[in-house]
Amino acid sequence: MKARRLIDGAALGPAALKTIYQAFDQAWAEIALHFGSSQVEIEAARVRLAEAILEIADEDSQDVEALKRAAVTRMPLGHRDPRRSLAQYP
C-alpha cells in the first residue's frame, strides 16, 4: 500500500512511527466510508491521509488522538483531488 510506504519512508524514530500508524489506522476507520468502493479512490484517499498526518507529525508525536483529529480535519471527506494522481507516488 502506497500510504504505508509513505509513512515508512518518514525520517522519524520507532516511537513516533508507532503513534503515526495508530493515528492513521484510527483515522481511516473513522473516515473510510466517505470514499466509495473504487480501489483507486480509496488508495488516493489513504495517501492523502498519510500525507496529512506526516505534515503535522514530528519526532515528539505521542498523542494518537490529537494526531488523528488533526489529520481528519485536513481531509476533504468524500472528495477526490483531481490534481493528484497515484502515479506521483512510488
pLDDT in tens, 79-89: 444 444 333 33
* pLDDT 10s digits, 38-90: 999 999 999 999 999 999 999 999 999 999 999 999 877 544 444 443 333 33
37 band by pLDDT with thresholds 50, 70 and 90:
confident
Per-residue burial over 74-87, b = 16 or more CB atoms within 10 Å of its CB, e = otherwise: ebeeeeeeeeeeee
Dig out the grid coordinates for 29 from the structure: 476507520
Q: Give the model's pLDDT for residue 79.
A: 45
Across the chain, mean pLDDT equals: 85
- Give this prediction's pTM: 0.80
